[in-house]
A and B are shown apart, each in its own frame.
Chain A
Amino acid sequence: MSAPLLELREITVSFDGFLALRDLNLSLQPGELRAVIGPNGAGKTTFLDVITGKTAPTEGDVLFQGRSLVGRAEHRIARLGIGRKFQSPRVFEKLSVQENLALAVSRPKQPWPLLFGRLGGQERERVHHLMGIVNLQSRADWEAGALSHGQKQWLEIAMLVGQDPDLLLVDEPVAGLTDEETDLTADLLKSLAGDHTVLVIEHDMEFIRRLESPVTVLHQGHVLCEGTMDQVQADPRVIEVYLGTSEEEQS
């Protein structure tokens, strides 16, 4: 087994005493596709916040390619090769679809090259290719703010892919998408795995099943269990968590 791409060690996040994450351990192999599920408030988004530098862990360490991420600024972590899609789609509303994607695929992120350089032919091609994938060519010059919710979701996924990170963190990508688009998204993510490492958070179990990937269940800031979808669904603890626990067991 090779060295893990991402490793969370004993991560604890406390918001004024409330533990959103407790001693969380998790590691991802390069090229892996992993699904994370868990009830509302389990700490899934917080866990992405910790990786991407939005929230500093109270305790513990995050290693990416052997380097610690704790204390680094968000943009530096992103430049190391970690991309993220937010739970509610966040695109740049006053930029056109094309410009949104151009920013994402743009290699230089520093002011000077952006000021003096122009968008290369290769990059422009990538933008068009991405628009093709998410079916937004006809909207290329639309302001992103005018897109529908689902289109924004897809635009953000396309931006994430365009950023070409080693690790893709995808928070609820199919919320608000039709069944057909959900399947397309699942296929897209599956095709990315291998070259990239992908971590998907989702509540849609059909979608997760379609990913055919190992599943991690998060509950109250802790990993409850890991395994294939079938194993996880058969686990009595998971059933308990999703279908309600009896009072005395909630400690």
Chain B
Amino acid sequence: MFQRFQQSRWPQLLVWVLIIAAIVAAPAVLPVFRLNLLGRFLSLAIVALGIDLIWGFTGLLSLGQGIFFALGGYAAAMYLQLNSSSGFPNGIPEFFGLYGVKQLPAFWQPFHSPLFTLVAIWLIPAVLAAVLGNLVFRNRIKGVYFSILTQAALLVFFNFFNGQQKLINGTNGLKTDVTQLFGQMVGSPEMQRGFFWFTALMVIAAWVFVRWVVRGRFGDVLIAIRDDEPRLRFAGFNPTLFKTIVFAIAGGLAGIGGALYTVQSGIVSPQYMTVPFSIEMVIWVAVGGRGTLVGAILGAVAINYAKSLVSEAMPQSWLFIQGGLFILVVTALPEGVIGWWRSDGPRNLLTRLGITRRIGTYPQLELDGQEEVQP
């Protein structure tokens, strides 16, 4: 009976109903501080969806998604800073004054435009991802080498943003909570509530989009790349192109997530490009279940919530827990929680706990029940 429950569609439906209910109810029941946290975690879920696309489906483990995340954040923050800097000397953001910069650097100029910013938030990370990705993919560098190179690229971007005070305020980052948008303070509770709604909608939009990408033959090609990339070439497909496209999509999603995260956390800084943060992103997907999409969302939200709870209660123990989680998931739950649910995980657990009876027949027969086995 349990199996019927597990295989029918409605557990998944139930998950969705729960998610939507939680989102709808959250603004009413949560204090602004918690609501804001949830909003941030939902923006991280958008990043996680991108990672699931490239890692879960295509097998590309990027340890550098922080680059694209931060770039999206910087784009948003630059616009907000410019939008609220008319009162400062020279009409440019305040921090420039600290370093004696009198004129706005050229690359800031286009961020006066809200339209440009809205496009830049996802397009700049996507284009950068496409370029970096293509440089690596076309040389058929793959597997761990790709991971290592993305990590190195992350370090490079961190160094760059961290060191350039005169261009983007270096290690201090750009604050957004005291800036203005639509004549309101970005950090105000009303704005934050609005951002929460918007983020929730974006998560669903991103989910629909990624799902559309992975369904159908395009998605099959991605899985084929993960399975046996060289073989795919001999069938006439060019994996480099597909990989570049999905890496760009993931970059764009990370950019959107970064922008939403920035306006809700009130700051963007090179800290978003640290090595640990980018690896954490991967583990959200691993815990939720790679290749499942819903798992990426659940993983991102659940782990970050756990992190904030644990860090409030026992600050030192989070690293232990997180480290343990990495090891546990990889060795014991390689398919993540959702994957475990969809396979025989729950039933095995119940059996082990003595709640349901062990199956008496060959499991094969039970599973293939409807299928007639023919020679």
Contacts and interface: CB of A to CB of B under 8 A. Distances in A.
Q: Do A and B interact directly, with beta carbons closer than 8 Å? A: yes
Interface of A: 52, 54, 73-75, 78-79, 83-84, 86, 90, 92-95, 99, 102-104, 106, 109-111, 114-115, 118-119, 138, 159, 163
Given A111-B218, A114-B216, A95 B238 contact: no
Given A103-B221, A111-B241, A118-B216, A93 B234 contact: no
7 contacts: A78-B234, A79-B236, A92-B224, A95-B227, A103-B221, A103-B224, A114-B217
A95 B224 contact: yes
Given A115-B213, A115-B218, A119-B217, A74 B233 contact: yes
B126 to A, nearest CB: 15
Contacts of A73: 233, 238
Contacts of B241: 110-111
A75 B236 contact: yes
Given A78-B233, A92-B227, A95-B227, 8 more contacts: A73-B238, A75-B237, A92-B220, A92-B224, A92-B228, A99-B220, A115-B213, A163-B236
Contacts of A93: 227-228
A138 B217 contact: no
Nearest to A99: B220
B242 A78 contact: no
Contacts of A119: 216-217
Main secondary structure on chain B at its contact with chain A? helix
A118 B241 CA distance: 19
B153 interface: no
Nearest to B291: A94
A204 to B, nearest CB: 23
B235 A104 contact: yes
Given A111-B241, A114-B218, A163 B223 contact: no
A111 B235 CA distance: 14
Contact of A92 (B231, B234, B245, B372): B231
A26 to B, nearest CB: 20
A90 B235 CA distance: 11
Contacts of B220: 92, 95, 99, 102-103
B303 to A, nearest CB: 26
A102 B218 CA distance: 11
B312 interface: no
Nearest to A119: B217
B55 to A, nearest CB: 14
B371 A138 contact: yes
Contact of A84 (B234, B372, B374): B234
Given A99-B220, A103-B220, A138-B371, A75 B227 contact: no
A86 B238 CA distance: 18
A84 B233 CA distance: 11
B238 A75 contact: yes
B226 interface: yes
B234 A74 contact: yes
B224 A83 contact: no
Interface string B208-251: 00000100111011011011101111111111011001000000
B98 to A, nearest CB: 47
B234 A52 contact: yes
A111 B245 contact: yes
A94 B221 CA distance: 11
Contacts of A111: 218, 221, 241-242, 245
Given A90-B231, A114-B218, A109 B224 contact: no
B217 A102 contact: yes
